[in-house]
Structure 1
Amino acid sequence: MPINKSDKTELLQKLNELLEKQSQFQQAINKLQREITQLKFEETEAEPAPVVEKEVQEVAETKPKEIEQIIRKHKAEQHSPQASPWQRSAISSEVEQFIGTNLINKIGMAVVIIGVGIGTKYAIDNNLISPLVRIILGYLVGAILTFFAVRLKKEYFNFSAVLISGAMAIHYFITYAAYSYYSLYPNSVAFILMVLFTVITVALALYYNRQVIAHFGLVGAYLVPFLVGDPDASVVVLFTYMVIINSGILFISTKKRWKPLNYLAFLATWVIFLSWFVSKDYNNELGTALTFSVLFFLTFYLVFLSYKLLLKEQAQIDDIPYLLLNTAIFFFIGITALNMSNLNDSYGGLFSLINAVVHGFTAYLIYKADVKNNLFFWTVGFVITFVTIAIGLQFNDYYSAILWSLEAAFLFWFGRSKRIELFDYLSFALITTTFIITVSNWVSVSYPFYGNSISEIFKPVFNLDFLASVIVILSFSFIYYTSRKLVPTKERILGWLNTFNILFPISFLIVLFFTFYTEIDLYWNNIQVYTSYQPNNDGEWVKVYKQLNQDIFDFKTIWLINYSMLFTSVLAFVNFKWLKNTVLNAVVFVMSGFMILIFLGSGLAAVGFLRESYLNTDLPANYDINRFHLLIRYVAYSFFAILFYSTYRFSVSLFPNKNFIKVFEIILSVSIIWICSSELIDWLSLSGSTEVYKHGLSILWGVLSFILVGYGIWKQKKHLRITSIVLFAGTLIKLFVYDLTNLDTIQKTIVFLSIGAILLIVSFIYNKYREVIFGKD
Structure 2
Amino acid sequence: MNIWIRKQWTLLLGVLFVLSAFVTLFKYTVEQGWVTNAMKIGLGLLSGAGFAAAGFSLIKREKWPIVGELLIGLGACLLYTTAAFAGVYYEMWDSMTVLLGMTAVTAALTVYAYRFESRLLINIALMGGLLSPLLMRPETDQVFTLFLYMLVLNSAFFWLSTVKSWNELRLTSFIGSWMMYIVYFFTFDPVVEGVWNLPLRYALAAFLFYQIGFLLASRANKQSFDGMNMYAGLSNGVIFGFWSLLLIHGEVHYGYPLAFIGFVLLLASWFIHYHVKRMEPASATYGSAGVLLMLLALNQVGSGLAVKPIFNVFLWSTVAVLLVWVGKRFRWQALNLASLIIWFTTVCYWYVITWFTPRGEWFGVFIPFLNWGAMAWLALALLGFYYSARLKFASLGDSGNRVMGNMYALCSHFIIGGLLTVQMIRLFQEHFDYLPYFYVQLSLSASWGVYALLLVLWGANRGQSVFRWFGFSVLGLTAIKAIFFDLNGQESLYKVLVLLLLGGISFLIAWINGKWNKVKELGEQSWEQAGEEKDIKKDNM
TM-score, normalised relative to structure 1:
0.52
| Structure 2 residue 320 is matched with structure 1 residue 408 | yes
Q: 1:150 to 1:469 in 2, by over 3 A?
A: same
Other-structure match for 2:533: none
> For 2:419, which of 503, 515, 518 is the aligned residue?
515
Other-structure match for 1:451: none
User: Is the 8 Å Cα contact of residues 435 and 507 (structure 1) preserved in structure 2?
Assistant: no
Inter-partner Cα distance in structure 1 for 2:67 and 2:454: 84
| Structure 2 residue 477 is matched with structure 1 residue 604 | no
Q: Deviations for 1:105-144, whole angstroms, at most 9, x for unmatched residues? A: 3222111122233333444455554433443444444334
Inter-partner Cα distance in structure 2 for 1:497 and 1:323: 40
Q: 1:404 to 1:151 in 2, by over 3 A?
A: same
| Structure 2 residue 462 is matched with structure 1 residue 578 | yes
Q: 1:634 to 1:601 in 2, by over 3 A?
A: closer
Q: 1:211 to 1:475 in 2, by over 3 A?
A: farther
User: Is the 8 Å Cα contact of residues 203 and 240 (structure 2) preserved in structure 1?
Assistant: yes
Q: 1:417 to 1:272 in 2, by over 3 A?
A: same
Q: Deviations for 1:68-91, whole angstroms, at most 9, x for unmatched residues? A: xxxxxxxxxxxxxxxxxxxxxxxx
User: Is the 8 Å Cα contact of residues 222 and 268 (structure 1) preserved in structure 2?
Assistant: yes
Inter-partner Cα distance in structure 2 for 1:367 and 1:293: 28
Consecutive unaligned residues in structure 1, runs of 5 or more: 1-97, 448-455, 532-548, 615-625, 653-777
Name which one, 1 or 2, has greater alpha-carbon Rg. 1
> For 1:442, which of 354, 371, 379 is the aligned residue?
354
Other-structure match for 2:528: none
Structure 2 residue identity aligned to 1:303: G
Relative contact order, CA 8 A, sep 6+: which one is greater? 2
Other-structure match for 1:213: 121
SS at match of 1:224: helix
Other-structure match for 2:221: 311
1:676-695 correspondence runs (5 A): none
Task: Kindly state the Cα deviation for residue 633 of structure 1 after the two structures are TM-superposed.
Answer: 7.2
> For 2:15, which of 100, 109, 125 is the aligned residue?
109
Other-structure match for 2:69: 161
Other-structure match for 1:135: 41
Structure 2 residue identity aligned to 1:367: Y
Structure 1 residue identity aligned to 2:331: R
> For 1:326, which of 227, 231, 236 is the aligned residue?
236
Q: Deviations for 1:351-370, whole angstroms, at most 9, x for unmatched residues? A: 4786377447625xx53565
User: Is the 8 Å Cα contact of residues 565 and 639 (structure 1) preserved in structure 2?
Assistant: no
| Structure 2 residue 105 is matched with structure 1 residue 240 | no
Other-structure match for 2:84: 176
Task: Kindly state the Cα deviation for residue 191 of structure 1 after the two structures are TM-superposed.
Answer: 2.0
> For 1:367, which of 266, 274, 280 is the aligned residue?
274
Other-structure match for 1:302: 212
Structure 2 residue identity aligned to 1:116: F
1:252-263 correspondence runs (5 A): 252-263=160-171
Identity %: 15
Q: Deviations for 1:508-559, whole angstroms, at most 9, x for unmatched residues? A: 455444333332332234358x55xxxxxxxxxxxxxxxxx9x43x544554
User: Is the 8 Å Cα contact of residues 355 and 386 (structure 1) preserved in structure 2?
Assistant: no
Other-structure match for 2:529: none
Root-mean-square deviation (CA, aligned residues, Å) is 5.1
1:365-444 correspondence runs (5 A): 366-367=273-274, 370=277, 373-377=280-284, 392=299, 397=308, 398=310, 401-402=313-314, 405-406=317-318, 408-421=320-333, 423-424=335-336, 427-428=339-340, 431=343, 435=347, 442=354
Other-structure match for 1:72: none
Q: 1:234 to 1:404 in 2, by over 3 A?
A: farther
Inter-partner Cα distance in structure 1 for 2:34 and 2:452: 90
Inter-partner Cα distance in structure 2 for 1:501 and 1:182: 73
> For 1:150, which of 48, 52, 56 is the aligned residue?
56
| Structure 2 residue 428 is matched with structure 1 residue 524 | yes
User: Is the 8 Å Cα contact of residues 343 and 380 (structure 2) preserved in structure 1?
Assistant: no
Q: Deviations for 1:27-61, whole angstroms, at most 9, x for unmatched residues? A: xxxxxxxxxxxxxxxxxxxxxxxxxxxxxxxxxxx
Q: Deviations for 1:646-685, whole angstroms, at most 9, x for unmatched residues? A: 9998999xxxxxxxxxxxxxxxxxxxxxxxxxxxxxxxxx
Inter-partner Cα distance in structure 2 for 1:497 and 1:145: 75
Other-structure match for 1:292: 202
Worse-superposed segment, 463-472 or 555-564 = 555-564
Inter-partner Cα distance in structure 1 for 2:348 and 2:298: 15
Q: 1:431 to 1:232 in 2, by over 3 A?
A: farther
Task: Kindly state the Cα deviation for residue 320 of structure 1 after the two structures are TM-superposed.
Answer: 4.1
Q: Deviations for 1:740-777, whole angstroms, at most 9, x for unmatched residues? A: xxxxxxxxxxxxxxxxxxxxxxxxxxxxxxxxxxxxxx
TM-score, normalised relative to structure 2:
0.71
Task: Kindly state the Cα deviation for residue 180 of structure 1 after the two structures are TM-superposed.
Answer: 1.9
Query: Aligned pair count?
Result: 501
Other-structure match for 2:192: 283
Consecutive unaligned residues in structure 2, runs of 5 or more: 518-541
